[in-house]
Amino acid sequence: MLTLTIGQLGTMLLPRPADGHKGTFGHALLIAGAWGMAGASILAGKACLRSGVGKLTMHIPHGNNDIVQTAVPEAIVSHDSAGQPVFCSPVQPVGYDAMAIGPGIGCAPSTLEALRGQLLGMGETKCQFPLVMDADALNLLASDASLWPLLPRNTILTPHLGELSRLSGESVPALCGDVDRTLSIVREMSERHNVVVVLKGHPSRIVSPDGREALCPWGNNGMATAGSGDVLTGIILGLLAQGHDAYAAACLGVAVHALAGDQAAQALGLHGVVASDLIRYLPKAFRAVEEWQRAH
């Protein structure tokens, strides 16, 4: 398993053309945030924008409109047409370069059917652009095995151990107690379903169905706070929309997320870090990679 370095990140990060415009850097679609969980969509949306994406559309319940419009003024807002407090109506998958689904969407039966409809719609329209599934999207996937065949090839799944437990049927204590067994489960899942799996933790690991694997040496326990995973989803979404392949986007996303966490912990202490601090320090994390590129 490859241990990531700044130099390896520098070779993965796509250059930004000097004459680029917002169309050059991709249009991302984020489906996130039921009523009471607007914060999940805001954290993911802000992180996506801080990752260099050209344009972001956030699909949310109408009831979250004011808070999202105020908190993320750079984003376009799309309202769920069903008028319910959860994700109920799929988005026409046309005009986007990447999509993320899951932060804060809940696990209502109507949301499960909306997720199914979203995946089916991507297949029917041949819009096989990159997809990230996190949080409640993973819980819905765990609850209904018929969703697995609908996933586009190289979909990125970002489970922590609890979500991996639900996806695999293995108990959390069993996963915690045997790293080799856990990695074997992740590898089998990646290969069987043709997905890239980001196993979140310290250290986080990335496994690709083509056999590539990476370990992130950065990060700290100050990042073990609500919303941290939403930030990671947003970062990976932004990188996918800019044209990075799934494995590179996953490696880069995990790494700059962890580097930002280390910057935040150094400045604030391990007890003082919250998820929004990771977004605050994200530009510094990207700058470290950019500086390596300029030097080489």
Q: Name the band, by pLDDT with cuts 50, 70 and 90, for residue 125.
A: low
| Residue 82 scores a pLDDT above 80 | no
First to last CA, the chain: 25
Judged by average pLDDT, the poorest of 21-30, 39-48, 166-175, 209-218 is 166-175
Judged by average pLDDT, the poorest of 115-129, 160-174, 188-202 is 115-129
pLDDT at 83 (0 to 100): 82
| Residue 151 scores a pLDDT above 70 | yes
What is the CB neighbour count within 10 angstroms for residue 183? 16
pLDDT tens-place string over residues 205-225: 999 999 999 999 999 999 999
Q: Report the C-alpha gap between 204 and 32 in whole angstroms.
A: 23
Q: Name the band, by pLDDT with cuts 50, 70 and 90, for residue 176.
A: confident
pLDDT at 178 (0 to 100): 86
C-alpha distances (whole Å) from 93 to each of 11, 97, 129, 222 are 31, 9, 9, 37
In the block, residue with structure tokens 């007890």: 271
C-alpha distances (whole Å) from 212 to each of 30, 64, 208, 215, 216 are 27, 40, 5, 11, 14
pLDDT at 81 (0 to 100): 81
Does the domain at 25-295 match CATH 3.40.50.720? Answer given as: no
| Residue 126 scores a pLDDT above 70 | no
Q: Report the C-alpha gap between 142 and 35 in whole angstroms.
A: 23
pLDDT at 172 (0 to 100): 87
pLDDT at 261 (0 to 100): 98
Q: Across residues 10-25, what is the average pLDDT?
A: 95
Q: Name the band, by pLDDT with cuts 50, 70 and 90, for residue 175.
A: confident
Compute the mean pLDDT over every residue in the chain, rounded to the nearest whole number.
Answer: 95
Q: Across residues 9-35, what is the average pLDDT?
A: 96
Per cent of the chain over pLDDT 90 is 90
C-alpha distances (whole Å) from 195 to each of 130, 150, 198, 247 are 11, 12, 10, 10
Q: Are 207 and 213 in contact (CB under 8 A)?
A: yes
pLDDT tens-place string over residues 53-81: 999 999 999 999 999 999 999 999 999 98
pLDDT at 253 (0 to 100): 98
H-only helix segments in the chain: 6-12, 38-49, 65-71, 109-124, 136-143, 161-168, 172-177, 179-193, 228-241, 246-268, 275-295
- How do strand 205-207 and strand 195-199 relate by DSSP bridges? antiparallel
Q: Name the band, by pLDDT with cuts 50, 70 and 90, for residue 128.
A: confident
| Residue 11 scores a pLDDT above 70 | yes
| Residue 116 scores a pLDDT above 70 | yes
pLDDT at 218 (0 to 100): 98
Q: Across residues 150-170, what is the average pLDDT?
A: 96
Q: Across residues 94-121, what is the average pLDDT?
A: 96
Q: Across residues 156-176, what is the average pLDDT?
A: 93
| Residue 127 scores a pLDDT above 80 | no
Q: Are 279 and 43 in contact (CB under 8 A)?
A: yes
